[in-house]
Structure 1
Amino acid sequence: MASLKELLAQRAALDEQISSTKDRERADAIAKVKSLMDDYGLTVADLNSRTPKVAKTSKVAAKYRNQATGETWSGRGLQPKWLKAALGAGATLDQFHV
């Protein structure tokens, strides 16, 4: 079994190997990126440009309308308060169907 001193020395050697390997691989990656940029005529500004993403939102047609106030509900999600109140008072959902 190795002593504490030997294990600490091994760890120091491994830390040095990790550091040198990390630096070497980083330099290789930078060289590869520069080469690709040269091949395709790219600049740093090209890398920083972002195209805005358009949010995909689709409107859903209203299926239910409160004739008294003009409020609508698509039938998705929770029922609005005006519809809950009307249903609680004895109205049916079909009475509000558009």
Structure 2
Amino acid sequence: MTAANSYKELLAQREVLEAKIAEARKAESASAIRTARQLVADFGLTFEDVFSGRRKESKAKGVAVAPKYRDPATGATWTGRGKAPKWIEDQDRSKYLIA
């Protein structure tokens, strides 16, 4: 057997193997689809139940909020949302308001 024959034989084997792989995938996919459809029917699931993320995301996510307070010493700003930064804690916030 020469290298060329070996190469051609390997290509032929690959074609046979790829055909077997495609056939097995098709059969297993059909089985998986049947199982999924049965589970959806059994539990009354909707498209959203099956394909949405685990947590619902807020529609407001990613919306930038303009800063409401500025530290005159450092220029740091704060929107007034969430935990207050150290520079404004226990202070009269009116003197830090951005006009």
Moved over 6 A (4+): none
Aligned CA-pair RMSD: 3.2
Q: Identity of counterpart residues, as a percentage?
A: 35
Choose between structure 1 and 2 for higher RCO, CA contacts under 8 A separated by at least 6 residues. Answer: 1
Q: Please, which runs of 5 or more residues in structure 1 have no aligned partner?
A: 72-98
Relative to its length, the structure with more helix (as a share) is: 1
List aligned pairs for 1:1-98, cutoff 5 A.
3-44=6-47, 46-47=49-50, 52-54=56-58, 59-65=82-88, 70=96
Structure exhibiting the larger radius of gyration computed from Cα positions: 1
Offset, 1:46: 4.4
TM-score by length of structure 1 reads: 0.51
Unmatched 5+ residue regions in structure 2? 62-80
- What is the aligned residue count? 68
